[in-house]
A and B are shown apart, each in its own frame.
Chain A
Amino acid sequence: MGESKAAQLAVADSRAGLAAGGAREAAWKDYVGRCVLEDPAALGNLYDESSSLVYSLALRVVGNEADAEEVTLDVYTQVWRRAAAYDPERGSVTAWLLTIARSRAIDKVRARAGRANLEQPFEESCEARTHAADPEEHTAMRQQRRRILAALDTLNPDQRRALELAYFSGLSHSELAARLAVPVGTVKTRIRLGMMKLRELLVDYA
Chain B
Amino acid sequence: MPKPRKATHHRAATAEIREAAALYSAGSLEPERAAQFDKHLQGGCTVCPSELRAFQETAVQLAHSLPERKPPTALRGRLMDRIAPKALARVLVRAGEGAHSSPPGSRA
Contacts and interface: CB of A to CB of B under 8 A. Distances in A.
Nearest to A200: B58
Q: Is the interface of B mostly helix, strand, loop or mixed?
A: helix
Given A40-B87, A163-B62, A172-B30, A138 B68 contact: yes
A134 B58 contact: no
Contacts of A47: 76, 79
Contacts, number: 169
Central interface residue in B57, B62, B78, B82, by most chain A CB within 10 Å = B62
A51 B71 contact: yes
A94 B19 contact: no
B104 interface: no
Given A40-B83, A43-B79, A47-B76, A195 B58 contact: yes
Given A90-B53, A166-B26, A206-B57, A148 B75 contact: no
A168 interface: yes
Nearest to B30: A173
Interface size bracket, B side: 35 or more
Contacts of B53: 90-91
Interface residues of A, number: 71
B66 interface: yes
B27 interface: yes
A200 B86 CA distance: 44
Contacts of A136: 70
A91 B55 CA distance: 10
A192 B64 CA distance: 20
Interface in A126-157: 128-129, 131-134, 136-138, 141-142, 144-145, 147-149, 151-152
Contacts of B31: 172
A170 interface: yes
A55 interface: yes
Interface string B2-46: 000000000000000011001101111011000000000000000
A92 interface: yes
A67 interface: no
Interface of B: 18-19, 22-23, 25-28, 30-31, 49, 53-72, 75-76, 78-80, 82-84, 86-87, 90
Nearest 3 Cβ contacts at the A-B interface: A133-B67, A195-B22, A166-B28
